[in-house]
Amino acid sequence: EAGVAQSPRYKIIEKRQSVAFWCNPISGHATLYWYQQILGQGPKLLIQFQNNGVVDDSQLPKDRFSAERLKGVDSTLKIQPAKLEDSAVYLCASSLDLPGTQWFFGPGTRLTVL
Amino acid sequence: AQSVTQLGSHVSVSEGALVLLRCNYSSSVPPYLFWYVQYPNQGLQLLLKYTSAATLVKGINGFEAEFKKSETSFHLTKPSAHMSDAAEYFCAVLNYGGSQGNLIFGKGTKLSVKP
């Protein structure tokens, strides 16, 4: 089966600019996650969707970050405006809506903010 | 609340030597624990998981981990390191929420393998 797809793979922007990332989960996976992985740290959950509803966005900096999952499939994560500290790899993951099933991670989008 | 702590941000071993990557957890409920591997410029790949069945869990690529409740540990081992094992390894614990929960990761341990 096809894996979790993300684009772009790399993005370089200047601070205060806007950027958007796209994620296409594995077909049929109801749950979708966005994680932020800063260099030298483990991934940190930004937002979790179940179908097109938000389950957990407690660690999403809502003053600049937004995410949506239209029709319960693809998702976009937006940063507006970007700060230097947003430089990180943004990972998307998906899973079936069943307890104990495996999470599948995409390759990530590496964002550099100058 | 759940958390994991990985001891040692960088571990270096010789090819053929034992690999030991340490992870300690904190959880107010029986934990579900995971080890993931991340190769450069790639996503995370599941190595193994503990879900309250057998305490010794075998995973892919010859890795295994033992759940020790008395020590709140879930260390990852491999008897003989291979060059291809060089990567970053993350320990994670399930954070219950919704029907699926989500994963809380440690800071990672970078494994280097010397020829």
The pLDDT tens digits for A50-93 are 888 998 899 999 999 999 998 889 999 999 999 999 999 999 99
pLDDT of residue A99: 63
Q: How far apart are CA A99 and CA A30, in angstroms?
A: 12
Residue A10 identity (one-letter amino acid): Y
Q: What's the Cα-to-Cα distance from B96 to each of A99, B44, B90, rounded to whole Å?
A: 10, 20, 19
pLDDT of residue A100: 61
pLDDT of residue A71: 84
Give the nearest partner residue to B43 out of A42, A44, A105, using CB atoms: A105
pLDDT of residue B114: 96
Contact A99 B103 (CB under 8 A): no
| Residues in B touching A45 (Cβ below 8 Å) | 95, 102-104
Best of A105, A109, A111 to substitute, by most chain B Cβ atoms within 10 angstroms, is A105
CB-based contact B90:B65 (threshold 8 Å): no
Assess whether pLDDT exceeds 90 at residue B99: no
Assess whether pLDDT exceeds 90 at residue B43: no
Assess whether pLDDT exceeds 80 at residue A108: yes
Residues of A with CB under 8 A from a CB of B: 3-4, 31, 33, 40-45, 48, 50, 55-56, 91, 93, 95, 97-103, 105-108, 110
Task: Specify the higher pLDDT residue, B16 or A98.
Answer: B16
- pLDDT, chain B, mean: 92
Report, in this order, helix, strand and coil percent for chain B, each rounded to 5. Answer: 10, 55, 35
Burial letters B3-21, b for 16+ CB under 10 A, else e: ebebeeeebebeeeeebeb
Assess whether pLDDT exceeds 60 at residue B98: no
Assess whether pLDDT exceeds 60 at residue B20: yes
Which pLDDT band holds residue B2 (cuts at 50, 70, 90)? confident
Q: How far apart are CA A97 and CA A55, in angstroms?
A: 12
pLDDT of residue B7: 94
| Residue B79: how many other CB atoms lie within 10 Å | 11
Question: What 3-state class would DSSP assign to B97?
Answer: coil
pLDDT of residue B97: 60
| Sign of torsion over alpha carbons B14, B18, B22, B27 | positive
Terminal-residue alpha carbon distance, chain A: 37
Would you state the torsion angle of the CA atoms of residues A15, A63, B105, A6, taken in this order, to the nearest 10 degrees? -60
